[in-house]
Amino acid sequence: MKRSSFFTLASFLILIGLAALTLRPSEPSPPVSQFTGLTMGTTFTVTLAGDIDATTLDAIKQEAFAVLEDINQKMSTYLPSSEVSRFSDEQTTEWMPVSTATAEVVDLALRIGAETAGAFDITVGPLVDLWGFGPVSRPDLVPAPSDIDRLLAITGYEKVECRLAPPMLRKVDPRLRIDLSAIAKGYAADRVAARLLSRGLHDFIVEVGGEVVVRGAKGPQTPWRIGIESPLSDRREIGDVLSLRDMAMATSGDYRNYFEDNGRRYSHTIDPRTGYPIDHALAAVTILDPSCARADALATAFMVLGPDQAFSLAEKANIAALLIVKTPSGFVEKRSKAFQAKAPQSL
């Protein structure tokens, strides 16, 4: 299934979840205002508490869209002119000046790379392309082991260096490429949320491609309630519902963007340690964190680590994680202590 349709549908589902679950017959639901749009190969939706007139809402939408487009122009691997593409194409080990935004995202990505022992790795792009999940679509084929080995030799997050002031990047190996796809949507949601806050708005949900930032509440007595999609590839269902305030949430799963060959499923999440798509019993991960960029990256990293390593890292590093694990008798949920503290069970 192609990336864009996945995100469109995932976002749509979260919306339906919100609508359905906030309509409790006993209490009138506080009014909300909402807009959606397309950017970064995906959809975004902003939901604001209260009745907002159409003109103001349109002005807010234009502002949100501008923030997202700016990030897309800088970080997309689909645009040859983006900073990220230009840095990747540059066959040099010289420092290259970049925007503060790009340097901030790369800096955070490298730190999460170290924190997850290389499970999160922004240099896996060439392997993502080889497996057919990158900008250039290819037939769904399993690559030759020699091709995987050749590309593994030119990956490794520790071969990228980043400075924040002034913002610049450098490659230790000129062949290296970077791919911020697994962190940029979360970062974009953070930036839109920051823009809304600076406009004096305090109660809203920003969702970009399924990654969510929640601020304030829907009404004085009503928290925002966010549905998490069940990890099913044949149908779409809301599983857990969380009541959240001033928190970001990101989800990664193996159940949408994949191809099948000889009865095996190959996911778009690549294990940078082997060069192969992940292959284990972890079906989905949801991370809660004040930073959506961090939550987004950690969700992908946890999908790489697999159920056991991911759960022990969550407990050790106090990361709020909900893991959905496949077992012969169905899905089993595992919640880290930090997750239980941040999201007491609702519904």
> CA–CA separation, 188 vs 208, rounded Å?
7
The site partner of 122 among Mg ion, ligand ADP, none (C-beta below 5 to 8 Å per kind) is ligand ADP
Residue choice 72, 102, 252, 336 for contact with ligand ADP (CB under 6 A): 252
Q: What is the largest CA-CA distance in the chain?
A: 64
Torsion of CA 77, 81, 87, 88, to 10 degrees: 40
Helix axes 54-75, 100-115, angle to 10 degrees: 70
Site for Mg ion in 175-194 (CB under 5 A): 182
Q: How far is the CB of 183 from Mg ion (least distance, A)?
A: 6
Residue 47, classed as helix, strand or coil, is: strand
Pick out residues in 286-315 that bind ligand ADP (CB under 6 A). 296, 299-300, 304
The site string for Mg ion over 230-259 (x = CB under 5 A, - otherwise) reads: ----------------------x-------
Q: Give min distance, CB of 211 to Mg ion, in A.
A: 7
Rounded Cα–Cα distance for residues 264 and 13 (Å): 27
Of 244, 207, 240, nearest to 335 (Cα)?
240
Q: State which of residues 77, 230, 269, 300 lies at the interface with Mg ion (CB under 5 A).
A: 300
Choose, by CB under 6 A, the member of 83, 179, 203, 229 that binds ligand ADP.
179
Q: Read out DSSP for 99-113?
A: -HHHHHHHHHHHHHH
Answer for which of 32, 124, 130, 162 binds ligand ADP (CB under 6 A) is 124
Q: Does 129 bind ligand ADP (CB under 6 A)?
A: no
Cα three-residue angle 88-93-98, rounded to 5 degrees? 55
- In the list 82, 155, 269, 286, the residue contacting ligand ADP (rule: CB under 6 A) is 269
Of residues 297, 257, 251, the one with CA closest to residue 278: 257
In angstroms, give the least distance from the CB of 203 to ligand ADP: 26
**Interface with ligand ADP (CB under 6 A):** 120-122, 124, 128, 133, 179, 181-182, 252-253, 268-270, 272, 296, 299-300, 304
**Interface with Mg ion (CB under 5 A):** 182, 252, 296, 299-300
